[in-house]
């Protein structure tokens, strides 16, 4: 398969879509777990007047500043946590280094950190970091440069996770619809599947909701069409009797399944406490790749695969390992010409979500 046009739309599902209804210990915690980050910041500062915040609360405050775009305050708090919390996970150490890159525009601090704290990250993470730092020093190949352009199908809301579907493009969007309620944490509509026509110049036009699959009030997202199976893989919110379904801790997670365009959505992976994202079906090996955060995760979300037979799962999930997965979030796996492409917000990138390739 040859890639004529690469259509990019990266959006990190995770904290955004896995709706948590926690039982917080303070008013500030309540705001944080309800994604009201501005109010959480104000309340955490009020609580500091009454006594010191716990390490978890300092981490929540750092994340709140990060979500509100105040990278400098978030960075200071993550650095403070690193000094004070010997159990701070590498996921948050990665956040600290990533924010340092974004605020200074220099990778020097991360390089020094790898030297001065050689035991924090695994050998695979350090090797990948040094390799990527060296790649940046190379002169780019003029023949390999991509042209990036916006498309008419984009909206003012979230538009991401594109997948080719014949001469069309399926994608995910939070644009408003009469059939969808507002998703409280984002203030926009619950996500849904859309379809647009791919034109000869790579543009996408006439985007409309994809009405062939079963109507659903809550999230439907990250589609992938497997032509050999004539099945559409995608994710959706866990629900029961028309209402969101929560686990014992008040979390609503995302399930992964498929549609054959005839029957209802068939669940393939479903757990009330674990969300699944970004399915990709490799036609050659019949492996179904996806993203999740299990107990064996190397950081945030990792990329996994399962063996299948005619689209039915035949094995336990297999983690792609530390050469691919990192202390950060890995998402959006896609294989073309025997190379794996994916996105990651690991600290040795350019900041935020970057696209990576592995042979």
pLDDT in tens, 224-268: 999 999 999 999 999 999 999 998 878 889 999 999 998 788 999
Alpha helix stretches (DSSP H) within 85-122: 90-104, 108-116
Considering 35-39, 181-185, 331-335, the range whose residues carry the highest mean pLDDT is: 331-335
Give the long-range contacts of residues 269-276, CB within 8 A, separation 24 or more. Answer: 269/313, 270/238, 272/238, 272/245, 272/246, 272/247, 273/247, 273/249, 275/13, 275/14, 275/17, 275/18, 275/235, 276/235
Please give the model's pTM, rounded to 2 decimal places.
0.88
pLDDT in tens, 256-302: 999 999 878 899 999 999 999 999 999 999 999 999 999 889 999 99
What is the helix (H) or strand (E) element at residue 164, kind and residue range? strand 159-165
- Let me know: does 110 contact 128? Beta carbons within 8 Å: no
- Let me know: does 272 contact 245? Beta carbons within 8 Å: yes
Quick one: CATH architecture of 19-121?
A: Alpha Horseshoe (1.25)
Cα 235–Cα 354–Cα 68 angle in degrees, nearest 5: 80
Q: Please state, rounded to an integer, the average pLDDT across all residues of the chain.
A: 89
């Amino acid at each position: 398969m040859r890639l004529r046009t690469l259509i990019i739309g990266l959006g990190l599902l995770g904290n955004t879509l896995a709706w948590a209804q926690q039982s917080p210990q303070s008013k500030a915690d309540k705001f944080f777990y309800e994604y009201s980050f501005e109010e959480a910041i104000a309340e955490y500062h009020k609580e500091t007047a009454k006594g010191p915040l716990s390490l978890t609360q300092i981490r929540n405050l750092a994340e709140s500043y990060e979500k509100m775009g105040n990278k400098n305050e978030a960075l200071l708090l993550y650095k403070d946590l690193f000094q004070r919390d010997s159990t701070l996970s590498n996921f948050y150490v990665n956040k600290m280094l990533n924010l340092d890159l974004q605020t200074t525009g220099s990778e020097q601090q991360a390089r020094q950190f790898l030297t001065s704290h050689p035991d924090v990250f695994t050998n695979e993470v350090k090797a990948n970091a040094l390799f990527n730092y060296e790649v940046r020093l190379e002169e780019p190949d003029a023949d390999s440069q991509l042209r990036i352009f916006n498309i008419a199908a984009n909206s003012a809301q979230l538009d991401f996770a594109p997948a080719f579907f014949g001469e069309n493009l399926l994608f995910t969007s939070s644009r408003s619809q009469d059939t969808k309620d507002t998703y409280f944490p984002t203030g926009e509509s619950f996500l849904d599947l859309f379809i647009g026509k791919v034109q000869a110049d790579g543009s996408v036009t006439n985007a409309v909701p994809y009405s062939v699959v079963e109507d659903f009030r809550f999230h439907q997202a990250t589609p992938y069409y497997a032509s050999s199976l004539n099945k559409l893989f995608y994710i959706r919110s866990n629900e029961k009797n028309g209402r969101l379904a929560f686990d014992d801790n008040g979390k609503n997670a995302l399930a992964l399944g498929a549609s054959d365009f005839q029957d209802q959505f068939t669940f393939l992976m479903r757990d009330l406490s674990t969300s699944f994202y970004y399915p990709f079906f490799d036609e050659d090996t019949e492996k179904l790749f996806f993203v999740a955060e299990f107990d064996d995760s190397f950081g945030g979300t990792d990329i996994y695969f399962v063996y299948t037979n005619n689209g039915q799962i035949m094995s336990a999930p297999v983690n792609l390992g530390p050469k691919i997965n990192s202390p950060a979030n890995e998402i959006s796996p896609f294989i073309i010409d025997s190379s794996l492409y994916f996105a990651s917000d690991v600290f040795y990138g350019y900041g935020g979500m970057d696209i990576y390739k592995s042979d």
